[in-house]
Amino acid sequence: MAFNDLLIRTLEGQNSGRPPIWLMRQAGRYMAEYREIRSRVSFLELCKTPELACEVTLQPIEAFGLDSAILFSDILVPIEPMGVNLDFKPAPYIADPVRTLADAERMKVVNPAEDLKFIMDAIKLMVSKLNVPLIGFSGAPFTLACYMIEGEGSKNFLEVKKMMHNEEKAFRMLMEKLAESTAAYLQEQVKNGCPVVQMFDTWAGIVSPYEYEEFIYPYVKQVVDSVEGAHFIYFAKDSSSFYPVIKQLNCSALGVDWKITLEQADKALDSKFTLQGNMDPALLFADKATITKYAEKILAEGKNIKGHVFNLGHGIMPKTPVENVKHLVDLVKSSD
């Protein structure tokens, strides 16, 4: 079958037809094929076995005919070789969180070709089997720091904010090591065959615009500027109040959540970027008529902005009905 390069053409501003569609967290527990493999191996084992990671990456492509695949791994896998003990229960848990200057000093910058060789092997295998682009990804320095500092997800991220303001030297040391590790990791993914990379900044929205500019943006910019030879998509959730800062980034596309419309976002960003999004993943639990109604609004707005990649505004949820995913993908693929 001919290679489907719709995502690449869209990121290059060369698409006048329907938008490409892929879904954040498109491989996972909502699919019976995924649950079957997970009944035999742990999540981390799955991430560390290239043949299995490859099989899982292909599952949603085969089931729905999406326009792009995304590397199967987790944003937290690369922080293990920095020197923390990582577990999934299934939510991430770090037994030895990073809270002090001594903790930050102990962290290593990863050498992805060696420390994450299993991911590079997985990428090569995936690229050899796919006829759509493979998106590589990483967490953004701040979102990774959130897990490293709290040790797990959190409601108010108080430890992160305490460290940012009371232990600034330690916080910045950690962020610098994360930015260097993330840049090297994404560069290595590109070298091994990913034509597009996405950086997930899921927790950026917990801070004020002042703190975003001072403590988060410089490290995002450092990573974006370091990756060459691939399209860069930056996804920061709850970030529309940061757009005056974010619009200075040199990347191809921005991920947008459902708290702002695509046209509002395009306007605030001076039409500088292709926008990716932005359906609420909870809508996939509604009936097909409701899914159609909201998807059509997003498709219509997508025509009036610089460029559009159809996606959800955040990751697909574990109990999402598979037939609704199929309905959404078919709808977008038959639009014009």
**Dihedrals φ, ψ of 227, to 5°?**
-95, 120
| C-alpha distance from residue 103 to each of 14, 79, 87, 142, 313 (Å) | 47, 14, 19, 16, 34
Query: DSSP alpha helices (H): ranges in the chain?
Result: 6-11, 32-38, 43-48, 50-64, 80-83, 101-106, 112-115, 117-129, 141-150, 158-166, 168-191, 209-211, 217-226, 243-246, 262-268, 288-302, 322-333
Instruction: Kindly write out the interface string for residues 7-26 of this chain, putting x where it contacts ligand CP3 by CB under 6 A and - elsewhere.
Output: -----------------xxx
Q: Is 122 in the site for ligand CP3 (CB under 6 A)?
A: no
Q: Is 259 in the site for ligand CP3 (CB under 6 A)?
A: no
User: What are the structure tokens assigned to 318, written together?
Assistant: 């574990």
Q: Is 103 a catalytic residue?
A: no
Count the site residues for ligand CP3 by CB under 6 A.
24
Nearest Cα residue to 16 out of 273, 236, 303, 224:
303
Q: Among residues 1, 3, 39, 91, which is the contact residue for ligand CP3, using CB under 6 A?
A: 91
Q: Among residues 33, 81, 88, 127, which is the contact residue for ligand CP3, using CB under 6 A?
A: 88
Q: Which of 29, 93, 172, 294 is catalytic?
A: 29
* Nearest CB to ligand CP3, comparing residues 72 and 305: 72
Residues 152-171 binding ligand CP3 (CB under 6 A) are 153
Q: Which of 147, 217, 219, 243 is catalytic?
A: 147
Task: Look at residue 207 and give its three-state secondary structure.
Answer: coil
Q: Is 72 in the site for ligand CP3 (CB under 6 A)?
A: yes
* Nearest CB to ligand CP3, comparing residues 75 and 163: 75
Q: Among residues 90, 100, 124, 165, which is the contact residue for ligand CP3, using CB under 6 A?
A: 90
Q: Is 27 in the site for ligand CP3 (CB under 6 A)?
A: yes
The structure tokens 């006048």 sit at 16
Q: Is 25 a catalytic residue?
A: yes
Q: Which of 74, 87, 121, 280 is catalytic?
A: 74
Strands 196-201 and 274-279, sheet pairing: unpaired
Q: Which of 5, 25, 30, 99 is catalytic?
A: 25
Q: Which of 38, 93, 121, 280 is catalytic?
A: 38
Q: Among residues 19, 92, 112, 195, which is the contact residue for ligand CP3, using CB under 6 A?
A: 92
Q: DSSP class of residue 27?
A: S
Sole window of 13-21, 74-82, 302-310, 319-327 interacting with ligand CP3 (rule: CB under 6 A): 74-82
Residues 128-147 binding ligand CP3 (CB under 6 A) are 137
The minimum distance between CB 153 and ligand CP3, in angstroms, equals 6
Q: Is 38 a catalytic residue?
A: yes
Which residue(s) pair with 279 in the sheet?
Answer: 312
Sole window of 97-105, 114-122, 213-221, 312-320 interacting with ligand CP3 (rule: CB under 6 A): 312-320
The minimum distance between CB 49 and ligand CP3, in angstroms, equals 14
Task: Report the distance separating Cα 113 and Cα 205, nearest Å.
Answer: 32
CB 315 within 8 A of CB 24: yes
Task: Report the distance separating Cα 128 and Cα 149, nearest Å.
Answer: 38
Which residue(s) pair with 277 in the sheet?
Answer: 310
* Nearest CB to ligand CP3, comparing residues 43 and 294: 43
Count other Cβ atoms within 10 Å, centred on residue 303. Answer: 14
| C-alpha distance from residue 40 to each of 29, 34, 72 (Å) | 14, 10, 17
The minimum distance between CB 102 and ligand CP3, in angstroms, equals 26
Residues in touch with ligand CP3 (CB under 6 A): 24-29, 38, 43, 70, 72, 74-76, 88, 90-92, 137, 153, 200, 202, 314-315, 318
Catalytic residues: 25, 29, 38, 74, 147
